[in-house]
Amino acid sequence: MWIVPEPHDNRVVPQAPLLPYRNGLAPLRIRLPHGDSAPTVLAWLEREHPDDPWAASMVAREVVDEKGRPWNPESAYAPGRFVHFYREPAPEVHVPFELDILYDADGLVVVDKPHFLATIPRGMHVTETATVRLRRLLDCPDITPAHRLDRATAGVLIFTRPKELRRPYQELFSEREVLKEYEAVAGFDPSLEFPRVVRSRILKDHGVMVAREEPGEPNSETRIELISNAGSWARYRLFPHTGRTHQLRIHLSSLGIPIKGDPYYPVYTRTPADDFDTPLQLLARAIEFDDPITGERRRFESRRTLAG
């Protein structure tokens, strides 16, 4: 099992990697299993993962243990120990949209993320992510997101530069101390009254692409305001109080007014990885909060517009 030491939610503050980041990417690690009789670490790695150049990497001192000590080709097999190493990521479809920087000072980097760009390296999206692009662009391997936006959602995304700022800014989001304002283009139903608050219970199973609503105690809440309408489409302002997976998309779809360009709700439709023609019309318009370091009120706004 490969373990990628990247932050996966707002509560996680990863330890410093035992190998430095390379090209914006953290090293990987694997644990040597118990019950194997391989004579050396190299023999086990070459047997289990033959496509990697283990011997050359060991000679280059790019394969280390859990204390940062290099494994060498003669190192005896050690069950339960860790191997940290680099791996070249698989080729990915390039996302042909720029990551615009809105603010870069005081240890914060605020970007205007385009549609189709994931926030963190995970699954099939590794190099084509906002985190890796920003690390490479600013030559700063410690850059870490304070929160996340879905790959399909564009807009304001906050990163921290120094490691010591990760926790205070990530906790702003995990403790719901941030005012998040979104904008969406979705269907229009004249029978619906706005503003309104939608509350529901949203669950998502691991490995399943879509989330679902179920009866029971609500765990999600969104305030929805109507900005304007034209024909069968309307523009909405959304204020999520919680941050469940696909919450805004599900809440609008549950009202019978799904977001324009949404391939997930109400019906999941698989789209090719290189199809950038129909972006989801959902934008993280603004983020506002009391700075945990200075105490001043901060507000960052996206410069992007939705197609309508």
Catalytic residue positions, numbered:
150
Taking the C-alpha atoms of residue 104 and residue 90, their distance in angstroms, rounded to an integer, is 31
| Cis peptide bond prior to 121, omega within 30° of 0 | no
Contacts of 159 (CB under 8 A, 6+ apart): 108, 109, 110, 111, 131, 134, 143, 144, 145, 146
Work out the burial of residue 195: count CB atoms within 10 Å of its CB; fewer than 13 is exposed, 13-18 middle, 19 or more buried.
exposed
Structure tokens at 270: 């698989």
Q: Which long-range contacts (CB under 8 A, 24 or more apart) does 177-181 make?
A: 177/289, 177/290, 178/147, 178/287, 178/288, 178/289, 179/239, 179/286, 179/287, 179/288, 179/289, 180/239, 180/240, 180/284, 180/286, 180/287, 181/237, 181/238, 181/239, 181/284, 181/285, 181/286, 181/287, 181/288
Contacts of 157 (CB under 8 A, 6+ apart): 110, 111, 112, 113, 119, 130, 145, 147, 148, 149, 284
Contacts of 101 (CB under 8 A, 6+ apart): 109, 110, 111, 112
Structure tokens at 290: 């009391």
Taking the C-alpha atoms of residue 241 and residue 180, their distance in angstroms, rounded to an integer, is 8
